[in-house]
Amino acid sequence: MENRSRITILMLPPALWLVLLFIVPLGIMAVFSFREGSFGAEREQFTLENYQHFFANRSYLNLLGTSAWIAFQTALIAVVLSYPLAYFLSFRAGEARVTLLTILIVPAWTSFLLRILSWKLILGSGGVLNTFLLSLGVIQEASPLLIYSRAAVVVTLVYVWIPFATLPIFSALERIDRRLLEAAADLGCPPWEAFLRVTLPLSLPGVIAAFFFVFIPTLGEWVTPALVGGAQGIMYGNLIQDQFVRALNWPLGAIMSLVLMALVLVILIIFNRFIRISDLAGA
């Protein structure tokens, strides 16, 4: 009984914090989704017309699907590039692993906006990429090759999220008992087969955790598409931002936000049927 009281006392502050900063704002947003009229309108009636308008407009759902595809590509590429890096840090770096891991994380300490703007300069007509291609004679005049496109959005987001995708994979690899690999070698498994049959399966929780670590925030991204995506690279988050800031249509923006959150929850529930989320947290 005494232990339960201590646990309750310890859990009370974070629970109140969660209610105030997550549950209450979510409830307010849900109420706004039923509100009639844009922000500042005189009428305070509630209606379902906002939901009818949203689901009747196919462009909203199409953009959500496009954003999900961009987020999936970004997460997949980030995981594929992060795994060899995490493997090297865990199995080959030795005593230098902490130093190399710190070097990997250091860029994340700088401003997110500054890193995005740097890629805008790299991919622009007068950027490093164009200068390099001009020096090789591949192109005859400077031109914006990737800027203001979906490819630019994916490239920039992959760069931003690689350090964060590496950490859970590195953690999962560190938890693998090295004696299992020694046993596989004693049983005649070559290194590549030991990797496929031992290392990779045991590191899958970290891989999946890394995937969701990138996919979920990328799905609602709007800063990167606004800076390097242009009209071709617009994502669902840009539409939500426009509704709240420019159009001042808070009901529609609230509906878009709730639909985005519902999509993420559905994806997590589906994956949770195969792999427990608690296992991902442990990875």
pLDDT tens-digit readout, 89-130: 999 888 888 889 888 888 888 888 888 888 888 887 777 777
Give the amino acid at 101.
L
Torsion angle, alpha carbons of 232, 236, 242, 247, to 10: 110
Query: In degrees to the nearest 10, what's the CA dihedral of 62, 63, 69, 71?
Result: -150
Distance between CA 239 and CA 247 in Å, rounded? 10
Per-residue pLDDT tens over the stretch 153-176: 999 999 999 999 999 999 999 999
Count of other CB atoms within 10 angstroms of residue 72: 16
For 141, the 3-state DSSP assignment is coil
Report the Cα 137 to chain-centroid distance in Å. Answer: 37
Instruction: Please report the pLDDT score of residue 283 as a whole number.
Output: 47
Task: Classify 190 as helix, strand or coil.
Answer: coil
Res 279: pLDDT: 56
Question: Would the pLDDT of 41 be above 60?
Answer: no
234-249, pLDDT tens digit by residue?
Answer: 999 999 999 988 888 8
Q: How many CA atoms lie within 13 A of 209 on its CB side?
A: 22
Query: Is residue 278 predicted with pLDDT exceeding 70?
Result: no
pLDDT of residue 64 exceeding 90, the answer is: yes
Write b or e for each residue in 211-235: b if 16 or more Cβ atoms lie within 10 A of its Cβ, otherwise e: bbbbbebbbbbbebbbbbbbeebbb
**Between residues 124 and 1, the one the model is more confident about:** 124
Structure tokens at 283: 């990875």
Highest mean pLDDT among 25-39, 142-156, 240-254: 240-254
In angstroms, the CA 257 to CA 157 distance is: 21
40 has pLDDT over 60: no
Domain ranges of the chain: 63-113+146-282
For the domain 63-113+146-282, what is the CATH code? Answer: 1.10.3720.10
- Could you count the other beta carbons within 10 Å of the beta carbon of residue 88? 14
User: How many whole angstroms separate alpha carbon 255 and alpha carbon 23?
Assistant: 16
For residues 249 and 252, give the distance between their C-alpha atoms in angstroms, rounded to a whole number.
6
* Pure H helices in the chain: 2-18, 24-33, 49-56, 58-87, 97-105, 112-123, 128-136, 150-174, 178-186, 191-194, 200-219, 223-224, 236-245, 250-272, 277-282
- What is the signed CA dihedral for 63, 67, 68, 70, rounded to 10 degrees? 140
pLDDT computed for residue 48 by the predictor: 84
Rounded-to-integer distance, Cα 178 and Cα 232, Å: 48
- What's the whole-number average pLDDT of the chain? 85
Q: Is the pTM of this model over 0.95?
A: no
* Highest mean predicted confidence (pLDDT) among 38-52, 105-119, 193-207: 193-207
